[in-house]
Chains A and B, each alone.
Chain A
Amino acid sequence: MTGELESSERLVLSELLNHVLDKGLVISGDVTISVADIDLLRVGLSVYLTSVETVEARAAERGESPLSGDDRISVLPGRERP
Chain B
Amino acid sequence: MSEHVVYVYGIVPAAIDTTGAPRGLDDAPVCAERAGDVAALTSRLDAPTYAGGTAEARAGDVAWIGPRAIAHDAVLTWASDAGAVIPLPMFTLFADLSGVQAMLAAKRERFRAILDRVAPAQEYTLRVFRLDAAVAATLGALSPRVSALEQQAAAATPGQRYLLERKLDGERRTELRRVSDEVANAVYTTIAGAALAAVRDPLPTNTPDDGVGRSVLNASFLVSRTGPDAFRAAVTALAQQYEPRGFRFELTGPWPPYHFVRERDA
Contact residues of A with B, CB < 8 Å? 1-2, 13, 15-27, 29-35, 37, 40-41, 43-44, 46-50, 53-54, 56-57, 60-61, 65-67, 72-76, 78-79
Contact = CB atoms under 8 A, between A and B. Distances in A.
Most buried by B among A29, A35, A61, A74: A35
Contacts of A79: 77, 253-254
A20 B107 contact: no
Interface residues of B, number: 62
A72 B211 contact: no
B250 A33 contact: no
A46 B88 CA distance: 21
B63 A1 contact: yes
Contacts of B259: 19, 23
Most buried by A among B74, B92, B125, B243: B92
- By secondary structure, the B interface counts as mixed
Contacts of A25: 11, 86-89, 114, 261-262
B70 A13 contact: yes
Contacts of B11: 25
Contact of B239 (A17, A44, A72): A72
B130 interface: no
B69 A13 contact: yes
Contacts of B8: 27
Given A24-B86, A34-B91, 18 more contacts: A1-B62, A13-B69, A19-B73, A21-B89, A23-B89, A24-B89, A25-B11, A25-B262, A27-B92, A33-B5, A33-B51, A33-B93, A35-B90, A57-B211, A61-B211, A73-B232, A73-B251, A79-B77
